[in-house]
Amino acid sequence: MKNYHFFPVFLALLASYIGLHVYSASWFSRSFAAAAPAARNLRLLFLLLALFAPLTMFLRHRWSGPELEWFYTAGYAWMGMIFLAGVVFISADLLKNGLKYFISPAGPQYYRYCVLAVLGFILAYAFYGGLKAPAIKELRITVPGLPPSMEGIRIAQISDMHIDSGYKLRRFAAEVDLVNAAKPDLVLFTGDLVDPGLTRSDRLAGLVHKFKPRLGVYGVLGNHEYYFGYERSVACYKEFGIKLLRNEAADAGGIRLIGFGDILAEKMTETDVADILKKYHRPGISILMTHQPVMYRLMAGSGDFVGFSGHTHRGQLFPFHLFTRAFYKYFYGPYRVKNSFFYVTSGAGTWGPPMRLLAPSEIPMITLTGKNF
């Protein structure tokens, strides 16, 4: 397993985030030939806006309520908007510099307006991708040696909802109907269901209780449940009627399920993970849940599993997926490791910006079979 150094990564992300604000202010000043005082004021404005999203996250952990939801939504939206704006401005400048030998020295007259038009289209598409309901993604996984009791079992995986506001609750209500219409045998929540800011846990509980799969509803914690508060999150899952597996196992209709707490949040070692699998895995195929897609090779060496994870969001906003891929070898989609199969979902919701670009949300509906067709 990689050795993750979160503080240096945090500093790098913070520096990049501030840098995008500085570059965007510079792009506007250059493109519209702003006078020195105006350019200076623009840089100051963008530096102040760089505080908007961090302030949103700080307040979100301490004060929640519908009266501030618009402020939090705007703060998170700005985070995504400046990221995409910075990427578009940098890309446009690189393209312009690369073409300067093939076009007139003055460059295209409408360069700045074309860039802003492209940015506007990308932002609209990203907001559409973030706010629309996720699709049910039907998948069929062939698992050699699958016991007859698991043949044809349909598993719905719901991950990374990050419910912290009224509009996310409304969206989840529609998703419950989608999942029930697909008639799963088992519903698995693979973490980050709740987030700091959740005030209507009773309403969320009512929605989760609408799930009636014949084998039950199970879940594991994600890293954001630890931010929300470990004990509060455990109490929420109990209120929701989700059987929470915290480094333990359960049996559903003769099927063994093993669930981990968030491996990185709990700073679990490979020895810790191996010991848990040794304690709870039994001969045959078990279903495994772990929020972050890590230690798959170790897990596959401990037995035969069908595993489910989330966390990566498939990058959520292109090209942020390049950064996410650098940290997670198992980034998105189905993987076969030895005799085990794992699925990493892009998630059903969003964190931070209510936006998705080239990383659509989904609710996997996975059918297991031991037959080759």
Close Cβ partners of 321 (under 8 Å, ≥ 6 residues apart)? 314, 315, 331, 358, 359
Q: How far apart are CA 364 and CA 373, in angstroms?
A: 21
Greater pLDDT, 349 or 5: 349
State the pLDDT confidence band at 4, using cuts at 50, 70 and 90.
very low
Single out the residue of 358, 21, 311 nearest to residue 157, CA to CA.
311
**In the chain, pLDDT over 90 holds for what percent of residues?**
78
| Angle of helix 52-60 versus helix 69-99 axis, rounded to 10 | 150
Helix (H, G, I), strand (E, B) or coil at 179: helix
- pLDDT of 189 reads 98
Q: Contact 331/321 with Cβ under 8 angstroms? A: yes
Q: How far apart are CA 237 and CA 221, in angstroms?
A: 9
Rounded (5°) CA angle 273-137-347:
50
Domain ranges of the chain: 6-130, 134-369
Q: Is the peptide bond before 319 cis (omega within 30 degrees of 0)?
A: yes
Q: Report DSSP letters for 303-316, one per residue.
A: SEEEEEE--SGGGS
Q: How far apart are CA 193 and CA 347, in angstroms?
A: 10
Q: Can you list the positions of beta strands (E) in 284-332?
A: 285-289, 304-309
State the pLDDT confidence band at 367, using cuts at 50, 70 and 90.
very high
- pLDDT of 69 reads 87
CATH ID of 134-369, from 3.30.560.10, 3.60.21.10, 3.40.366.10, 3.40.50.150: 3.60.21.10
Q: What is the pLDDT of residues 206-254, one digit of tens each?
A: 999 999 999 999 999 999 999 999 999 999 999 999 999 999 999 999 8
Q: Contact 153/255 with Cβ under 8 angstroms? A: yes
Q: How far apart are CA 89 and CA 151, in angstroms?
A: 52
pLDDT at 368 over 90: yes
Q: What is the average pLDDT across 177-196?
A: 96
Q: What is the pLDDT of residues 24-40, one digit of tens each?
A: 999 999 998 888 899 99
pLDDT at 103 over 80: no
Q: Is residue 111 classed exposed, middle or buried when 0-12, 13-18 and 19+ CB atoms within 10 A define those classes?
A: middle
